[in-house]
Each structure stands twice: as structure tokens, then as C-alpha cells.
Chain A
């Protein structure tokens, strides 16, 4: 017989898997804590899914803890409950948890690496370690015709060493998690506090030593009177974002000021504008590492920014230049000289505009910068401008994309590259360029310089100071004195920007292009031409500003590259919910109901909860010690019932023999109430069937020695597990009946019987009918009935238990009298109508 082999296999398997038998009381404790954990998991999940306000990252992380915590506890509980089974579930849970906390929440473990790295020709530094700026510069070493000043990098490991050793990271995390960044005041407060903290903290000795040692090596090989430039090289995962000008560069630093400069650069990560920009682009703090570039300082004759081609579409290269250091240029404080260099064929300057040259900065001997009077007519000679353009072109060729190059021409006439990065916002516009003036609208401004193309309409707001930035309404056309990078954070919400001074190659222009915000610079009288509160239409392509809403333009030129400001916290939350909430394990009877098939935390919770219930449900063997702790219930019915108190099920004074009024367990009392129903009959034959009787005789000759054993009930205040042997069948009731509606259930398993199989089936049919009528979820195979009523308030569960109590007594011998399915149905009708003793059936003739 093949099935005998199967049985053996299963039997042996069962024995092997039963590693350690856990006492029922202990199992119960685990069972209850699993139940409670399941409930808090479900509540937290519902909370998370329904939540409108996201709050800070802290809220998301603590929400995740509120999910993973309970599920982890559930898994542990199940393992403890089963004496070490389900180890694979532990593995599965840990995998899920790792994926969620690392991929979704970005809580990466700390990696270690060198604090300082040096570039060398032939090897490139990795952007993840040194930041993209330093990595790109390292690629230029040894490239023909390209000069890069010597530099080293304090790596992202150095950065982490700093923020972790100083306790900064904890503080930052605290602050991030507590802040709701949808409110801009929160950003200001956050930025301010972190900056203060960064500047106040000490660079850890190890890092300080490494920095100073490297500085020594750098200056040794230079032998120049100038110091070093300390610049940020922020690591961001989304390299599309420029972070242009968001981070500070400290120029001409000597050894004494080195650590301070380093801290200042780190602190610039938390300038309000930088924070706002990062958030607008969807970065969380952990996404932005902060390697710092330390580069030999050059004394420039001129410096500036070159675009290897015009971001507004024309193939010409654009070179902007100021005398001295480029800082006033990139910060938008001055209007630089601007050269348009036709790069095709023989490069030639095809256009040049004169800057104001109002602010010239140079390096002071030793350290610091000094402002010098403006002198030379042009910052660059035409020849030099062409040389810069050629350099930009060769960098474009080298990197394969249009480049935004920061260059320096030193006093010896050598051209240096200090930064080269992909040019933002190229090739994405062009549809609505150089539009003719639209008739019928007053033109307020003509001849503005296009920094970022596009057309937008909005109300004019004059920007005077950084105060009140939070109050900027949507659709604001902001008029500013200069194109300050400090505006970057506010940019995504603006309709357009009009600047009095500034350069189309400044950082803000880059950011404006990134967000698709039209931007005009060099509008000298902007503050008088554009009165506050006026609705205007800015046509950045045509360099004009119209009064009123110019439909013709707006219709033709929708904002071409609007990248809506994202809410990174909300995105994390969405990803989190996506990997936690779906329930894919639904059918406990399916072969796929196993640990390996759990795909979400919800699956794990469901699996544990179901298995824990089944473990309790199968709690039929008591240890010898537990047998000694049994209380014998004395009550009015001929049923020998032993009780095991698992906590709060009986009064403290209950002895070996307990009376009914010493029972506190709510569900047990409900069951007993049902069993004690006056209408039930406990004695007297219900009927007799010879075949059935012989079947009983045969069956009692083997295997049914449990018949007549006392029934036992495990009980706690809100739990009962009753195994009853009222006759030749097994009946088990298991129920939780407490305050947590989600945890409540009543479950009945009933199988076996005395009569022949057919009659037992009819009894099962009777049971199934009645249970179905009472709202149970019933499954019924052969003589086996399993019924569950779950997630109902305690009162309903109690009522169901009273009914189960009645049913267990009433049905105990019914298998002997079931003559047909119709009898079963008739008995069921009789029971449902309240005739629990089947008086009606008895009176029936025959």
C-alpha cells in the first residue's frame, strides 16, 4: 500500500520536525504576544496607508519600526513557540528587513575606506568615494592640453568619520526625522541648527592628522605663495542634478585655516538653499555625502565659466570671464564679459558683451582674498577667449557631453581647469525660441539676457532679503538684484526670475534650467520696470516681459522641462508601503503557504499569525508538570473537565477543584454557559443503530482509548482552548475573545464519531448547516468540520461560543441517529430554532 509508505514518511518527518516540545503555557505566552504584535502591525499599517500628512523622515522610519518591530517579534515568537521550527522564516524576515531598511530607507551600514585620496594619471577616482567633481577632475590628469591644479580629496569616508565621530550624524538624523520639510520655516531652523553644530564640532584627530599630512604633501610640491582652495564635491546618487553653487568653496586657505575651512564646506551642505534644493530634487540627507576637494590655489589673471555650447541651443561656445577670481561671477554678483565663440571651422569670437567689472577679487599672500580696483578693459583678449572655448570643446569631446567648465588663467598665462561638469538643460528647448514680439500687450522689459529659456506668467514680487522667502506664493515672477544660488531652493516654485545683475553661466542659471524656470538676467531697471503685484508674462527666449497674461505665448510655449518638485519623504513612504502592505499569501491550505513564499512583511505577519493559531489549536498534549497543575471543574453537568490556567482564567484561590464561580475566563464561561443550557439533554439514548454500534465496538477495540478521558481546557482571561471527548469524536474549540477585534476568533474542529462513516458525515452536515447559519466560515470534508468566526467584537464571539457549547453537547451522539441527509437538515432546523434537545425530533413517529 503506497499510502502506508507516505504515512511512514510523514510520521517520521513529523517526529524529526518536532525538535523540542514547548510546554503549553509557554506556547500560550508566545501565542498571545504574537497576537498582540499582529494587532499592532495591522494598526500601524492601516495608519500608514491612511496617512495624509507624511511628516519628517523620522516619522517614516519610526513608522517602519512600528511595522518591522512587531513582525520581528512575531517571527521570534513562532520560533520559540515551536521549539525552533520555522528557522527559514527568520531568514526570510531578515532578508525582507534588510531590503527595506537598506534599499528603501537607505540606512546603509558604514563602509570603511581611506580618509584621503590622491588622484594619479591613468586611474580614476570613484565618484561614490570622492564625489563627481573630484572624480571628473581626476579623469583629466594626463589628458593632452588640459591642466588641472594638483589636488587631493577628503573622501566620503572622511566625511562619515567626521559626522559620526562628532555625533553630528545622530543630531542630523534627529533633526531630519523631527522636521516636516513641507514647511519652509522648518528648513530654515533645521539648516541653522545643523550649521551651528557642524561649525562647533571638532574634526576628529585621525581625520585632522590625515588632512594636515596631505596638505603638507600638496604644498611641498607647489612652492607657491598661495594657499589652497577647499571645495565641496558632494556625492549624490542622481548625477542629473547639478547642485550648482549650492556648496561653499573656501579659497586661499593656509594650513592654520584648513580644518575650519573643511568644516565650513561641510556646513554649506546645510545652507537653507542647499537643503531646499536637495529636498526639491528628492534627496534625503543620507543621499548626499560630502567629500571635499583640496586644490592648489592659483592667482588668476582672469577666470570664469565656459559652456562648450550654448545651452539655449546654438552650437557656439560661450565664455564668460571676470578679472581675478571667478567667485563673484558664479555667485551672480557681477555681470561678466561674455564671448560667443563660433567653434565650427576656425574658432572665432562672433559676439562679445562687456561686463561691469565692478568687483575684482584676488588672493592675498598667505591667506584670504582681497578686493582690488577694476582695471583692464576686458578680462580676456579675443585670442584667450578662443583658447578657453577650445578647451571647453576638448573637454566636451573627452567626456562625450557638452560641458560646463570653470577655468582659471594664471598670471603666467597658463589655462587651468578647476571644474568640468555636464552642462545642465541642453538640447531640451528650442521649440519656442526667438519669438517675435506679440502685439497688443505693453512690453515692460526688452533686451534682457536669457539665462534659462521659457515663457511663464505670474505676479511680480520684489526680492529684497532672504526673509519671508517662505511666503512666496506660487506663480511668482521674482525680481532679484543678482542671481544668487541662495535662491535655488525657492526656484522650483517660481514662475520666472528676472535679475538685475548676473550671468547666464552662473549657478542659478544652471539650476533654473534644471527646473525649467524662465530666467532673464541683466535687466538693469527691473525693480522699477516691474512693479510689485503686477501680473506679467516673461518671455525669456525673446528677452521680454509683457504686462498681463499673453495667451499667444503661453499657449505656444508650455514650460518644456518642468520637473515638479518632489517630496522625497513621501516617495520613500510610497516605496515602503509598496513592499510592506500587499498580502500575497492568502490561502493557508495552499502548498505555497510557506516561509519562502512571503514577499512582504504583511505576508510574514499573516503566516506567523496563522501558524501560531494552528499551533495553539493543536495543543493537545500536556506535560506531566502541566497535568499536575490542572484544576478539576465541579459543575452541574456530567462532564469531567480539567482546567489549566494560563493567566487570569481562574481566580487565585482556585484549588485542585475549582467551582464555576472561580472561572474568570470570558470565553470559557461562554462555552460552559452554552453547555449548561437547560434545554440540552445529557443522558438517555438518542437512538440506536446496530451497524453503527458494531462500528463503535470495532473502533473501541483499537485506537479509541482516549474515549472517556477527561476533557481539558486551557484558559486565560480572554482565551480558551477546549478539547472535549464527549463521545467517540474529537471536538476542539479555540477562541480569543478580548478587546482587540482583529485578534478575536472562535474556531471549532469536529471530527470522528461512533457510527458508520456515512452517518458521521451526515452529522458533519448537520454541524456545517448550523455553523453556517451562525455566521461561521465552514469547511466540511467527510466527517470533519472546521469552522471559524474571526475578527468580531467580543460580544459576538461570546455569543458564538455559547452556541458552540450547546452544539457540542447536542451533537455528541447525533451520528447514531442520522438516517439521511434530510435527517441532518431537519435536526439542523430544529437546533437553529432553539430546540437544542431535539424534542421535536424525538416526538416524531418511527
Chain B
């Protein structure tokens, strides 16, 4: 199913803008998390196939991040060397992700309960459901523990909890070749670390249409040890390239619907501003709690859609 097979009617355009507004608003409110809802909801609400949803979402993201990156570039907060090295890994990851999606797209249908279901829809629904369940659970747990502690009900007395058993010291990985990142003030780090981070985030981008920043940014700070400012700039730079490359490769595969991209771009740009202005007033734990609930709502919607397809 390529873009040509899926015309978007003029009538649905305003609805898509509105949808973009809502998702953009959620994105603005919940931060990066809003993006997780974009692709599955495009599928559930508008019936847009996952491959087109992913491709077009990346298009929208590419537009958004380019503007932000240009802004950051002026301030010189980007470690271009690190960015360039990482792009190699990212591009590979995006390609891998997009390829898997492409394979799913062409692998036809399976029959469940006597009804044919597209394998891509099945797999992507399940992957997204799993992702949303994981994120939702984690966020609700996180927010609840934070709230409990703030309210003073936490078990502060048990201060001597055992140290976390898994302490990766990637920094000590001395695998050749080692590189120096002067802009980030990093004397020596294995190139492989950079590539792995790039690949992982790229893969998520290519297959799921998310920015991957939620992994890359902490990784830049906590694994590589970039100063925060540099991490932010480089992350944006990276999103621009991963989404850019993603759009490119998905476009080649016929997965980018320009009208859809346009509609989403308009909606999210406005929505994000509105959403963001409300976040600060709500406070972190509650935002996470809210997102957790929303994630589960998304899971239910995905499940219902799948169920209806199978049963009817």
C-alpha cells in the first residue's frame, strides 16, 4: 500500500489539521511523549496505514526540527564532529528500521479468526501497544513515587538501599577507534559507543517514526558526558538528520504523503505552542501521570481497532 493507493480527500484535510493540533498540543504538553501517540492514532482514527503514518510523521518532524536546529546553530551549541559521527550510525539505524517496515508492508496478510489482517498492522499495533504499555507503566510508577515522596509519605528512612547491580561503565570501553570531541570537552571515547547510540535511535525513527531524542539526549549526557547545552544542540541536529534521512528513504519507498505532512505540520506547530504554555503550571509528576493514563488510552484504542478488525 503506497501513497498512490491512499488518496486523502479534501474533506478530511481540516480534520487532519485538527488532529495535528490535538496531537501537537499533547506533544507540547507532554513533551516528546506526544509524538508516541501520533503514529498509532493516525492509524486508529484516520485509518492511515502505518507505513504512511510513519513516513509522513517523519516529514512533519523534519520540518519542525530544522527550524529549531537553525536557531541553535547560531549559538554554536552543536558538536558537529560528534553529530557527523553519529549520523553514520543514525543513517544505518533509520535504514534498518525503514527496511523492516518495508518488509512488513509487503508481507501480505495473515488470517486470524477467519479474517485477513495486514501483517504490518498487526506487528506495528503490537509494537506500539508494547511501547505505550511500557512507557505508561513507567510514567505512572514514576509519578506516583515522586508524589508520594513529595507528600512526605515516602520511605526516606530506608536510605541504605543496595546499589543498583547494573552499573555500566561505557566510559571505560576502550574499543578502537577512540575519538576526541573537543567541542564537548571529551578527551577520548570509543567510536563504537557513538555509533551504537546513533543506530538505536535511528532504528526507532525509521521504524516507528519517533524522534528518538528521548533516548539520545540522556545518552549524550550520561553515557558520553556531553555538557547539557551541547547535548541539546547536537540532539536537535541529529533529529533533523535522522528525520531528514527517514523522509528521504521513506519517500523512495512511497510512504510520504505530502498533504498529510502539510496538515500535520500546520496543526502541530500551533498545538505545540498552546500545549507547552500549560505544562509549567501543572508540574512534572502530574504531567507524567496524565501521560501514563493517555498512553493506556492509546493502547486500548489500538487494541479495540485490532479486535474489531479480527472479529467483524
Contact = CB atoms under 8 A, between A and B. Distances in A.
Interface of A: 3-4, 7, 11, 14-15, 620-621, 632, 638-640, 682-710, 725-728, 752, 754, 756-758, 761-762, 765, 781-784, 812-813, 816, 819-822
Nearest to A682: B227
Contacts of B232: 707-709
Contacts of B213: 700
A689 B217 contact: no
B222 A702 contact: no
A683 B184 contact: yes
Contacts of A685: 170-171, 222-225
Contacts of A697: 214-215, 218
Given A683-B225, A783-B149, 13 more contacts: A11-B281, A638-B229, A683-B226, A688-B171, A696-B218, A702-B32, A704-B31, A708-B217, A708-B229, A708-B232, A756-B164, A757-B154, A782-B149
A7 B286 contact: yes
Nearest to B287: A703
A685 B221 CA distance: 7
Top 3 A-B residue pairs of the complex, sorted by shortest distance between their CB atoms: A708-B232, A683-B185, A638-B227
A701 B231 contact: no
22 contacts: A11-B282, A15-B281, A632-B75, A638-B184, A684-B187, A685-B170, A685-B171, A687-B169, A690-B166, A691-B166, A701-B32, A702-B32, A702-B291, A703-B279, A707-B228, A708-B231, A757-B149, A782-B150, A782-B156, A820-B159, A820-B160, A821-B160
Contacts of A781: 149-150, 152
Interface string B153-180: 0101001110110111111000000000
A397 B32 CA distance: 95
Given A7-B286, A640-B77, A702-B287, A762 B187 contact: no
Contacts of B159: 761-762, 765, 820-821
Interface in B60-107: 75, 77
A694 B171 contact: no
B281 A14 contact: yes
* Of listed B36, B135, B217, B235, residue having the most chain A CB within 10 A: B217
A687 B166 CA distance: 12
B280 interface: yes
Given A3-B147, A701-B135, A708-B232, A816 B222 contact: yes
Contacts of B145: 757
B197 to A, nearest CB: 12
Contacts of B161: 758, 820
B123 interface: no
Interface of B: 30-33, 36, 75, 77, 135, 138-139, 142, 145-147, 149-152, 154, 156, 159-161, 163-164, 166-171, 184-187, 213-215, 217-219, 221-232, 235, 276, 279-282, 284, 286-289, 291
Nearest to A689: B164
A646 B77 CA distance: 27
Nearest to A620: B280
Contact of A727 (B221, B281, B288): B221
Nearest to B285: A703
Contacts of A687: 167, 169
Nearest to B168: A688
A725 B232 CA distance: 11
Nearest to A761: B156
Contacts of A705: 31-32, 276, 279
Contact of B142 (A695, A709, A812, A820): A695
Contact of A701 (B31, B75, B146, B225): B31
Nearest to B169: A688
B227 A639 contact: yes
A725 B228 CA distance: 8
A683 B227 contact: yes
Given A690-B166, A782-B154, A703 B291 contact: yes
A691 B287 CA distance: 21
Contacts of B33: 701-703
A704 B75 contact: no
A754 B220 CA distance: 13
A709 B77 CA distance: 12
Given A701-B214, A727-B228, A765-B159, A688 B149 contact: no
Contacts of A783: 149
Nearest to B290: A702
Nearest to A638: B227
B286 to A, nearest CB: 6
A683 B187 CA distance: 9
Given A15-B281, A685-B224, A690 B32 contact: no
A197 B152 CA distance: 72
Contact of B228 (A3, A696, A726, A762): A726
Contact of A699 (B142, B167, B224, B228): B142
A816 B150 CA distance: 20
A3 B185 CA distance: 45
Nearest to A698: B138
A4 B225 CA distance: 37
Contacts of A707: 217, 228, 232
B31 A696 contact: no
A813 B223 CA distance: 11
B170 A688 contact: yes
B218 A700 contact: yes
A719 B214 CA distance: 36
Given A693-B222, A816-B222, A820-B163, A704 B284 contact: yes
Contact of A688 (B77, B167, B186, B227): B167
A754 B222 contact: yes
Contacts of A695: 138, 142
Nearest to A691: B164
A326 B228 CA distance: 101
A120 to B, nearest CB: 71
A688 B222 contact: yes
B213 to A, nearest CB: 7
B71 to A, nearest CB: 11
